[in-house]
Structure 1
Amino acid sequence: MIKILLVDDHSVVRMGLKMLLNNHSDIEVVGEASEGNEGIQKALELHPDVVIMDLSMPHGKDGLSATSELKKQLPHVHILILTMHDDEEYLFQAIEAGASGCLLKSAPHDELLSAIRSVASGQAYLHPSATRRLMEEYIGTIRQSGSGGGSYNSLSDREREVLTLIAKGYSNKEIAEQLVISVKTVETHKGNLMEKLQMKTRPELVAYALKKGLLGYGI
């Protein structure tokens, strides 16, 4: 059973999502919140598997701030951002904040269910246009630098594991726990990755992982 917490400032949206999701035997909505601060409190109380987080909430803490804070306090929780904005700036900010996925509110119900199940299983999920934008950004960075970055073959097995987990949205602490190593060692591996692949940001790593098929799906 995938336990879901809904965080959205529109009660009608929460009601519709709850009715839709509770119709599936493997999903249960265990709580709701109308803004980010309340969402963090509910998550600490209920320990959901997936938080469906609205990006724009004018009252209280917004979705990006709440995502960042929630990942610090509950690093194992998976956060799926729901947004009306098909904008690469929001996409990159959501990834940097620690979201495991990003989905447009206009997406079909089947895609929402697929996204929930993907992030709950530890996979990343991006809607198709977001994936294209991320890859375009990555390709643009390569062109500007005049190279294709470092070679995947130059990475150690451990560095590849760390790369995959970073791209899936896990924090350094969570990666350390999964691999049974120290946070400092994770940071060292991350630094080595950035140097070998000639990259500077998390979105670049996510795009690279997508290109290599490390997240379970590609473009």
Structure 2
Amino acid sequence: MSETPGDGRLRVVVVDDHALVRSGVRSELEAHAPDLRIVGEAADVESAVAVVHETLPDVVLLDVHLPGGRGGGGIDVITGCRDLSARFLALSVSDSSEDVVGVIRAGARGYVTKAITPTELADAVRRVAGGDAVFSPRLAGFVLDAFGTAAKDIATTDDELDRLSAREQEVMRLIARGYSYKEVASELFISVKTVETHVSAVLRKLQLSSRHELTRWAAVRRLI
């Protein structure tokens, strides 16, 4: 049963695959931000989506790399909650531009690293809840660079997609969404062997080495 809002505090869900991190975030926010209320926790993609739907938080503090889902980590949580009004603030040890841009393009409102102080984190939660975009100082540049060259990115993506046949593009999108070879074969009415051939061609043409890289490539380009 969903908890019912009513005490005026901002409702927060903490998603991280490390119990110590979740416990630490909870204790720090409870100690420094009485206006925030932790209403749920989760350690993987599936449980995170379930908890967010159950508790209907204002803000989800979301680690970028999580087990489960279709291989996209925190991105899978965001896409699994698109029907809700919750806002997402990435809280991660990673400060790579690929992670930052990927999760922002998926729909997160901000991205801060775990070096942030409890007071700064509480303020970031409040600002995201209020509709602001919040980033750790160095990370904001990644987002500005990425979105400032959006037209160039689109042209580059188009060029990359032009390397793939129509069938290869269909296979690419399904594989990037986490479908198994058997599921892709069933969806497209082709054999598993044919799927394997298409996947090999896609990885070769896009110069990628694994399904995980393909998922991240497609997510950054908003192709899934």
1:1-219 paired onto structure 2 within 5 Å: 1-23=9-31, 24-57=33-66, 59-61=67-69, 62-70=73-81, 72-74=82-84, 76-137=85-146, 141=149
Distance 2:68 2:137 in 1: 30
Offset at residue 135 of structure 1 (A): 2.7
Cα deviation digits, residues 65-114 of structure 1 (max 9, x gap): 111221x221x111111111111111111111110111111222222112
Please list every run of at least 4 consecutive aligned residues from structure 1 whose deviation after the TM superposition is greater than 6 angstroms.
Answer: none
Listed as ranges, the gaps of 5+ residues in structure 2 are 1-8, 154-219
TM, length-normalised to structure 2? 0.59
Distance 1:137 1:6 in 2: 27
Distance 1:125 1:51 in 2: 13
TM, length-normalised to structure 1? 0.60
**Larger Rg over CA atoms:** 2
**Conservation of the 8 A alpha-carbon contact between 2:29 and 2:118:** no
SS of the aligned residue for 2:41 comes to: strand
Query: Residue type of the partner of 2:103?
Result: A
Offset at residue 50 of structure 1 (A): 0.6
Query: Which residue of structure 2 aligns with residue 216 of structure 1?
Result: none
Offset at residue 136 of structure 1 (A): 3.6
Name the Cα RMSD after superposition.
2.2
Distance 1:138 1:95 in 2: 10
Distance 1:133 1:54 in 2: 18
SS of the aligned residue for 1:20 comes to: helix
Distance 1:102 1:45 in 2: 24
Query: Which residue of structure 1 aligns with residue 188 of structure 2?
Result: none
Listed as ranges, the gaps of 5+ residues in structure 1 are 146-202, 204-219
The percentage of counterpart residues that share the same residue type is 30
